[in-house]
Amino acid sequence: MSQEKIITVKNLTKTFGSFTAVNSISFEVNKGEIFGFLGANGAGKTTAMKMLIGISKPTSGEALVAGFDIKMQSEMVKKSIGYMSQKFSMYDDLTIKENITFFGGIYGLSRIQIKQKTVELIRELGLEEVADKLVGALPLGWKQKLSFSVALLHEPKIVFLDEPTGGVDPITRRQFWEMIYAEANKGTTIFVTTHYMDEAEYCDRVSIMVEGKIEALDSPKNLKKQFDVASMNDVFLKLARNIE
Amino acid sequence: MSIIVQNISKSYNNIKAVEDISFTVEEGELFGLIGPDGAGKSTIFRILTTLLLANEGTVSVAGFDVVKEYKSIRNAVGYMPGKFSLYQDLSVEENLTFFATIFGTTIEENYDLIKEIYVQIEPFKKRRAGALSGGMKQKLALCCALIHKPKVLFLDEPTTGVDPVSRKEFWEMLKRLQQKGITILVSTPYMDEAALCDRIALIQKGKILKIDSPKNIISNYDKTIYDIRAKNMHQLILDLKQYPSQYSVFAFGEYIHYIDKKADFNSEELLDYLQNKKHSEIEIHISNPTIEDVFMDLTAIQQ
């Protein structure tokens, strides 16, 4: 793997009043890496992620995402990344094709590009027969696969996935990760959060946040060795339990 | 029997949400409905808690018929819906008092039942429910569902989106409630939680695939699963899928779970094949099946 840094975070901090949600975190993500960003509910993951995608200003500290400063160049950050979350999927009352066209427009693709991408994407996902159906009628797993593909429309350098597989059936969950692997193989960096600890095992490296700080960061293999346990689930339980 | 469900079906605009489902839950049992989003779990909960009428079939809960005696059921059960449904503008204490009053009781009367959970949120009792963290909301919702000392507790996806630590604590809490004699019907999309139930129903697309104890479901599973790993896991998945006698290939944590079609499967041959494909650090050994393996196999057969 190339060691070119695509995300560099230094002492990033966010406070809300007297509450410190993110407490001086520092880490780097390599280009083409699948980076797992884990933590308990309320540990500060979402707050940190919002700063990295340029929609929330840090209280202090700095971060470079795809070469752009998140404070000074947040618009450039947004153009260089893709984002999908479990909650924000697509417009339920637009068809699959309409959603792709809409997001292609938002991402600034030309009409010709949008046309090409639409055909490609629908073929890759095997959605030919339902392309003119409303997104709302699709099963959740399909919505999430589509949503992931749409987040990649503008060929971003990094894609941020916020709990992309929550509630998705086990087979589709695997298919989703195969899509992630394939995209990472093309050189796209994947920054992903999840509550499924088996998915933590699929990441190249994993960070675990506890109460606003990154308490562990390494490959799943090394983390298991470090904490002397058999699974990432046990690593997680050990870390988060000890703090409480 | 605490819950008897017989042949219920429910459709929304010609889409079948639940199709001919039957199961029973014994008194004091912890019974799990296990399945992904869209399996029909919430529809079943809504029918059992008298909030929705089935198109077909009959249901009795705590000895009452869901249609004719719905009022008695509402007094006898506690229900925690998947979506947070308490009053966001009321404080923790006000919410609890409100639900106690609705059921003609007081917090003091049944405090024993909720004490263990309530003490964890008591420091925030003056805080608006809407301003609580996810974990605390969940604890408050559980207290509100328990405040009238229900015979049967319905919990629809209480742990969805909850981190592994809080999920573990929540299940420990459920086990203790069960010991107090409460019958619990709980749904979850997390297959690892299935093992914590007395019996489970595996559900997909509105149909029950299997009902049994987690232990029996696993011991009755007749296929052999192999744990396989190599240095490049993504390439390994692709290559295993090309292996002529492969039955299924799924990423499974640090390993890939592989099932072969042939009864006389020889792992040495597969090892040769993978070595020819230039894989390194290859490991192949027999694995123990999990509920998730069984579920995936059953749903793959259905599709």
Above 70 in pLDDT, residue A88?
Answer: no
Distances (CA, A) of A63 to A16, A27, A58, A66, B221: 19, 9, 9, 10, 50
Cα B232 from Cα A85, distance rounded (Å): 27
Cα B145 from Cα A28, distance rounded (Å): 45
CA distance B234 to chain A (A): 6
Question: pLDDT confidence of A244, banded at 50, 70, 90?
Answer: very low
Exposed / middle / buried, residue A227 (Cβ in 10 Å: 0-12, 13-18, 19+)? middle
Distances (CA, A) of A27 to A9, A38, A213, A216: 5, 14, 11, 11
Question: pLDDT confidence of B303, banded at 50, 70, 90?
Answer: low
Query: Radius of gyration (Cα) for chain A, nearest Å?
Result: 18
Scan for tokens 């819950």, then name that residue: B3
Reported in sequence order, the residue ranges of chain B that DSSP labels E, i.e. its strands, are 3-12, 15-25, 30-34, 56-61, 64-65, 77-80, 152-155, 183-188, 199-204, 207-212, 225-229, 246-252, 255-260, 283-287
Q: What is the pLDDT of residues A25-51, one digit of tens each?
A: 999 999 999 999 999 888 899 899 999
Q: Please list the residues that pair with A15 across neighbouring strands.
A: A20
Q: Which of A166, A174, A197 sits opposite B251 (nearest CB)?
A: A174
Cα B42 from Cα B48, distance rounded (Å): 10
Cα A34 from Cα A29, distance rounded (Å): 9
Interface test with A, best of B121, B163, B235, B236 (most A CBs within 10 A): B163
Reported in sequence order, the residue ranges of chain A that DSSP labels E, i.e. its strands, are 5-16, 19-30, 34-39, 60-65, 68-69, 81-85, 158-162, 189-193, 205-210, 213-218
Tokens of B255: 């390993």
Above 90 in pLDDT, residue B162?
Answer: no
Scan for tokens 């003091």, then name that residue: B108
Above 60 in pLDDT, residue A199?
Answer: yes
Strands A158-162, A81-85: pairing is parallel
Cα B62 from Cα B77, distance rounded (Å): 8
For A220, nearest residue in chain B (alpha carbons): B254
What is the separation of C-alpha B264 from the centre of its chain, rounded to a whole number of angstroms? 36
Q: What is the pLDDT of residues B203-228, one digit of tens each?
A: 999 999 999 999 999 999 999 999 99
Please state, rounded to an integer, the average pLDDT across all residues of chain A: 92
What pLDDT is stored for residue B301 in this prediction?
Answer: 78
Cα A99 from Cα B56, distance rounded (Å): 37
Cα B195 from Cα B204, distance rounded (Å): 18
Residues of B with CB under 8 A from a CB of A: 35-39, 133-135, 157, 160-168, 189-191, 204, 233-234, 237, 250-254, 292, 295-296, 299-300
Scan for tokens 């959060």, then name that residue: A193
Strands A34-39, A189-193: pairing is parallel
CA distance B143 to chain A (A): 20
Above 80 in pLDDT, residue A242?
Answer: no
Question: pLDDT confidence of B164, banded at 50, 70, 90?
Answer: confident
Cα B220 from Cα B222, distance rounded (Å): 6
In this prediction the pTM is 0.88
Q: What is the mean pLDDT of residues B257-263?
A: 95
Above 60 in pLDDT, residue B75?
Answer: yes
Quote the percentage of chain B above a pLDDT of 90: 84
Greatest mean pLDDT range, A167-171, B289-293, B298-302: B289-293
Q: CB B1: neighbour CB atoms within 10 A?
A: 13
Q: What is the mean pLDDT of residues A206-211?
A: 94
Q: CB B215: neighbour CB atoms within 10 A?
A: 11
Which residues 2-41 in chain A show a CB within 8 A of chain B? 39-41
Above 80 in pLDDT, residue B298?
Answer: yes
Above 70 in pLDDT, residue A2?
Answer: no
Q: CB B18: neighbour CB atoms within 10 A?
A: 29
Cα A234 from Cα A230, distance rounded (Å): 7
Quote the percentage of chain A above a pLDDT of 70: 97
HSE-CB for A71 with a 13 A CA cutoff:
11
Q: What is the mean pLDDT of residues B171-182?
A: 93
- Reduced to 3 DSSP states, what percent helix, strand and coil does chain A have, rounded to the nearest 5? 40, 25, 30
Q: What is the mean pLDDT of residues A85-92?
A: 81
The answer to whether A223 faces chain B, any CB pair under 8 Å, is no
Q: What is the pLDDT of residues A91-148, one digit of tens each?
A: 999 999 999 999 999 989 999 999 999 999 999 888 888 899 999 888 888 888 999 9
Which residues 140-159 in chain A show a CB within 8 A of chain B? 140-141
- The complex's ipTM works out to 0.83
Scan for tokens 């975070």, then name that residue: A9
- List CB contacts (< 8 A) between A139 and chain B: 37-38
Q: Cβ separation of A178 and B237 shorter than 8 Å?
A: yes
Cα A200 from Cα A236, distance rounded (Å): 10
Scan for tokens 């870390």, then name that residue: A239
Give, to the nearest 10 degrees, the angle between helix B134-146 and helix B92-102. Answer: 20
Cα A1 from Cα B25, distance rounded (Å): 53
Q: What is the pLDDT of residues A49-75, one digit of tens each?
A: 999 999 999 999 999 999 999 999 999
B193 neighbors B171 (Cβ within 8 angstroms): yes
Tokens of B198: 């007395």
Cα A151 from Cα A145, distance rounded (Å): 10
CB pairs under 8 A between A and B: 98
- φ, ψ (nearest 5 deg) of residue B138: -65, -40
Q: What is the pLDDT of residues B35-73, one digit of tens each?
A: 988 899 999 999 999 999 999 999 999 999 999 999 999
Question: pLDDT confidence of A243, banded at 50, 70, 90?
Answer: very low
What pLDDT is stored for residue A141 in this prediction?
Answer: 83
Distances (CA, A) of A158 to A34, A73, B182: 10, 16, 49
Q: What is the mean pLDDT of residues B169-196?
A: 93
| N-term to C-term CA, chain A | 37
Cα A164 from Cα A185, distance rounded (Å): 19
What pLDDT is stored for residue B167 in this prediction?
Answer: 87
What pLDDT is stored for residue B161 in this prediction?
Answer: 79
Determine the 3-state secondary structure of A217 from DSSP.
strand
